[in-house]
Structure 1
Amino acid sequence: MTSDGNLWRASSVEGLATTPLAEDLRADLVVIGAGFTGAACALEAAKQGASVVLLEANTIAHGGSGRNVGLVNAGLWLPPDEVLAQMGEADGARLVEALGQGPQMVFDRVAEHGIACEATRNGTLHLAHSPKGFAELQDRFRQGNRHGAPLQLLDAEETARRTGSAAFHGALLDPRAGTVQPLAYCTGLARAAQGLGARVHENSPVTAIAHGDGLWTVTANGHNVRAPKLLLATNAYHEGIAGAFAPQFVVVNYSQFATAPLPEAARAKVLPGAEGCWDTALVMSSIRLDAAGRLIVGGMGNAEGLGRAVHAGWARRKLRALYPDLGDLPFEHQWRGKIAMTRDHIPKVVNFGPSAYAVFGYSGRGISPGTVFGTAAAQALLRDDPAAFPLPVMKGYKEHLRGLHEAYYEFGATLTHATMRPR
């Protein structure tokens, strides 16, 4: 197994030249965090002619954006009826519609800016891991179609043909969706923003934020960036910043294991349409291919923590259960990322000061929502129009019992992976 761990970092062909912040700057907008949300915001603001400074504590897409499964899904984890039930008819419908168009926004940016991110728009498959799971998919199918989504319900035979595995009881195909190499996609957004004039500074951790005289002062590397507009887009990788609003969420770990490239005979049978997949199990798992034909198996849990051996053993058993002929294919890459989950699984936008927003809590759906919300953030800030966001803006948000919930999720994933036979 390679020492770099993260396949996406090893295989990305996108790049941009940056330097750490080394001088004081003045701009129209300062963005903290160069993941999907921050990079999309910087790109949209630069397209509108604003001067932008994008600050990243580590490297572009260092956090969840560069550790993502790479599924460009439409909508949230929640089925649309539940979104409307929680948010109300008008607000819920607006969010469902906006995120339903999210994959189109992603693939439009890929095409417009020539982002080399292995973009494949052949849909995604939500796989039924059990008869109960298939019943859930039937309900999601009815709800999605009622709200205008062109979903297709597949039986077990068609699912087996598309996945190359007989382990599933059916699937829900969303043709709007697809896959990308997520780190490359995020890097491409930042590269495009830079090409339009945005200042992008990696290795520039923000240590303090203050507001006075109509300006935000953001301190990084001992230098100050001053701007009237501010976006905090750190999500699950938020680090301590003096004077700043601290987003609250539950951290959920997700780990992935990538095999060596499949033999040619297997590539013709395993996900021949290259759809990205995840299943209906409570402790969710995912499968997908990359452009080189590596099979990537993912699951909840921290494969870099105390349960590393348990999660690694589960990944091997999962591979053997799904594809017995490939069960001994070596894993060449292993990595994990952190998900910012909110208790209702709906993203949050908090207005924490004059012309300042924090966006967080995609609950595992980062690519399309991050692109949608980042773009909306630029519009909301530059136009002084919070209605540009696809949901109501909040003045504050608290996530209660975070530590307890984080321990619950990790313990549940570890126990499941230790005791349950993968299907």
Structure 2
Amino acid sequence: MDDLSLWNLSAAEPPLAATSEAPVEGAADVVIIGGGYTGLATALFAAARGMSVQVIEARCIGYGGSGRNVGLVNAGLWVPPDKLVETLGPKVGRRFLDLFGNGPQVVFDLIEKHQIRCEPRREGSIHAAHSAAGLRDLQGRFDAWRRHGAPVDLLDRDEMQDRTGTRLYRGGLLDHRAGKVNPMGYARGLARAALGAGARISTGAPATGLVRQGALWRVTTARGTIEAPQVVLATNAYGGALWPDLDRAYSVIHFFQLATDPMGEASAQVLPGGQGLWDTAPVMTALTRDAEGRVIVGSMGRMIGTPQGGISARWARKRLARLFPDLGALRFTQGWDGRIAMTPDHMPRICHLETGLFAPLGYNGRGITTGTLFGRALAQVLAGAPRESLPLPVTPLQRLRMPGLQSRALDLAFTAHQMIGGV
């Protein structure tokens, strides 16, 4: 699985080889299906509370979105703050804003506590205005976040050029709460911490059955069976058909990325302040630079072709040439994509499917903070805290109409965007 993503190769945290042989048998207080941020954070916090925990992962730690994403540790959601309060109501909405506004701090505190080797950077993140309309949207977000006391700056074109190295953007919103990590390094570090707290983790053990027998859930895997009174389906966009219609609760979009060779000082003009960036365009571009001077650019859609040639590599070269014409000829050595679970209102869900069965999903591209915070909160509820303590009210499974058709339509649109250049 070396080609899973660049992060799979560059993460300083090594894979936890011992987990691949761990059996799945007996009983536990909670079984967690999925070895990404949500499952591992749930396991860490539940085990730290003295619960017996079994994590089951079909492939390797971070195989899904956790090991494939951009690595931005953002505060808040896609939804603007005022809209979120309107949707959730004043009491829950403001509590949610406070919690998710502090989300990056929770992540970086875990990294520090457990000495997770994931290239953490705390210089903030930049939301870049691709147009006049995008700048107006960022002005509104800036005003709303400032009313809520958030440390954000609205950047003009000159300030954006200083921060990003390009004059292409009209302006931007710099959120000082945010940062970035090597996303696979963070996932592996959470797994190491969860093991240290007493959790059991089995990788290469796809779950094949989930049935309730009396007061217990019986989880069948390729390497054995285990029973528990509580189960967390922490698979998000990689859930498959383990639970009926779970994959109808969201639409899937793909997001691809390409990484250059390590460029050393030649890459210093790209985001010289160390932030990661995403823009306001309807088909978003994301941009970051890693510790070894690789420039990593991505957008919505599947990876088409190879890093050395094909539609995606051609799009990436054109995009970077427009942003940074002085970079010269670029060689991409890694390319990958991943799946994102999107909900119609861009709000995540914590679904209560049946007694003792929870499914957090629909992170809308905000997996690092959302998965960590949801995992911590779910662990509290699994240990006996009231469900009202969760960041969001639990909901039943809400099935969308024809999510597969919508996903295919978006795929076609994103492919066309790549083919025409997207610039």
Q: TM tier, shorter chain?
A: over 0.9
Quote how far apart the aligned CAs of 1:274 are: 0.8
Q: Which residue does the alignment assign to 2:74?
A: 73
2:104 counterpart of 1:103 = yes
Q: Which moved more, 1:93-102 or 1:180-189?
A: 93-102
Q: Which residue does the alignment assign to 2:5?
A: 6
- Give the 5 Å matches for 1:47-86: 47-86=48-87
Q: Which moved more, 1:143-152 or 1:277-286?
A: 143-152
What RMSD, in angstroms, separates the aligned Cα atoms of the two structures?
1.9
Q: Distance in 1 between matches of 2:179 and 2:232?
A: 28
Q: Distance in 2 between matches of 1:281 and 1:96?
A: 24
2:263 counterpart of 1:262 = yes
Please give the secondary structure, in 1, of the residue aligned with 2:365. coil
Q: Which residue does the alignment assign to 1:195?
A: 196
Quote how far apart the aligned CAs of 1:348 are: 0.8
**Contact 1:33/1:233, CA 8 A, preserved across alignment:** yes
**2:297 maps to amino acid:** V
**2:59 maps to amino acid:** N
After superposition, what is the alpha-carbon deviation per residue over 1:129-155, rounded to whole angstroms, capped at 9, x for unaligned? 112211111111001111221110011
**Contact 1:232/1:357, CA 8 A, preserved across alignment:** yes
**Contact 2:205/2:223, CA 8 A, preserved across alignment:** no
Report the TM-score, using the length of structure 2 for normalisation.
0.95
Q: Which residue does the alignment assign to 2:288?
A: 288
- Give the 5 Å matches for 1:214-233: 214-233=215-234
After superposition, what is the alpha-carbon deviation per residue over 1:167-192, rounded to whole angstroms, capped at 9, x for unaligned? 11111000000000001101100110
- Give the 5 Å matches for 1:398-413: 398-413=399-414
Q: Distance in 2 between matches of 1:420 and 1:131?
A: 21
Please give the secondary structure, in 2, of the residue aligned with 1:49. coil
Q: Which residue does the alignment assign to 2:382?
A: 381
**Contact 1:21/1:223, CA 8 A, preserved across alignment:** no
Quote how far apart the aligned CAs of 1:166 are: 1.2
Q: Distance in 1 between matches of 2:78 and 2:60?
A: 28
**2:7 maps to amino acid:** W
Q: Distance in 2 between matches of 1:196 and 1:383?
A: 19
After superposition, what is the alpha-carbon deviation per residue over 1:26-45, rounded to whole angstroms, capped at 9, x for unaligned? 11111000111000000000
After superposition, what is the alpha-carbon deviation per residue over 1:394-422, rounded to whole angstroms, capped at 9, x for unaligned? 12211222022112322222222333552
Please give the secondary structure, in 2, of the residue aligned with 1:26. coil
Quote how far apart the aligned CAs of 1:384 are: 4.8
Q: Which moved more, 1:125-134 or 1:406-415?
A: 406-415
Q: Distance in 2 between matches of 1:303 and 1:421?
A: 14
**1:40 maps to amino acid:** A
**2:378 maps to amino acid:** A
Please give the secondary structure, in 1, of the residue aligned with 2:20. coil
Quote how far apart the aligned CAs of 1:228 are: 1.3
Quote how far apart the aligned CAs of 1:332 are: 1.1
Q: Which residue does the alignment assign to 1:275?
A: 275
Percentage of identical aligned residues: 45
Q: Which residue does the alignment assign to 1:298?
A: 298
- Give the 5 Å matches for 1:21-420: 21-241=22-242, 248-267=249-268, 269-304=269-304, 309-419=310-420
**2:289 maps to amino acid:** L
After superposition, what is the alpha-carbon deviation per residue over 1:80-103, rounded to whole angstroms, capped at 9, x for unaligned? 112123222223222222111110
**Contact 1:22/1:221, CA 8 A, preserved across alignment:** no
Query: Residues 247 and 373 from structure 1, CA distance in 2 versus in 1: closer, same or farther, beyond 3 angstroms?
Result: farther
Query: Residues 89 and 153 from structure 1, CA distance in 2 versus in 1: closer, same or farther, beyond 3 angstroms?
Result: same
Quote how far apart the aligned CAs of 1:281 are: 0.2
Report the TM-score, using the length of structure 1 for normalisation.
0.95
**1:281 maps to amino acid:** A
Please give the secondary structure, in 2, of the residue aligned with 1:19. helix
**1:177 maps to amino acid:** A
After superposition, what is the alpha-carbon deviation per residue over 1:346-398, rounded to whole angstroms, capped at 9, x for unaligned? 01111112222100000111000110001111111111521221011012211
Quote how far apart the aligned CAs of 1:287 are: 0.5
**Contact 1:119/1:178, CA 8 A, preserved across alignment:** yes
Query: Residues 121 and 312 from structure 1, CA distance in 2 versus in 1: closer, same or farther, beyond 3 angstroms?
Result: same
Query: Residues 113 and 222 from structure 1, CA distance in 2 versus in 1: closer, same or farther, beyond 3 angstroms?
Result: closer
Q: Distance in 2 between matches of 1:243 and 1:159?
A: 47
Quote how far apart the aligned CAs of 1:60 are: 0.3
Q: Distance in 1 between matches of 2:12 and 2:59?
A: 19
Query: Residues 261 and 95 from structure 1, CA distance in 2 versus in 1: closer, same or farther, beyond 3 angstroms?
Result: same
Query: Residues 304 and 377 from structure 1, CA distance in 2 versus in 1: closer, same or farther, beyond 3 angstroms?
Result: farther
**Contact 2:237/2:247, CA 8 A, preserved across alignment:** no
After superposition, what is the alpha-carbon deviation per residue over 1:195-238, rounded to whole angstroms, capped at 9, x for unaligned? 11100100010000111231111111251111111111000011
After superposition, what is the alpha-carbon deviation per residue over 1:85-126, rounded to whole angstroms, capped at 9, x for unaligned? 322222322222211111011001000001000010100000
**1:341 maps to amino acid:** M
Q: Which moved more, 1:406-415 or 1:121-130?
A: 406-415
Query: Residues 367 and 230 from structure 1, CA distance in 2 versus in 1: closer, same or farther, beyond 3 angstroms?
Result: same
Query: Residues 3 and 60 from structure 1, CA distance in 2 versus in 1: closer, same or farther, beyond 3 angstroms?
Result: closer
Please give the secondary structure, in 1, of the residue aligned with 2:261. strand
Q: Which moved more, 1:394-403 or 1:138-147?
A: 394-403
Q: Which moved more, 1:342-351 or 1:323-332?
A: 323-332
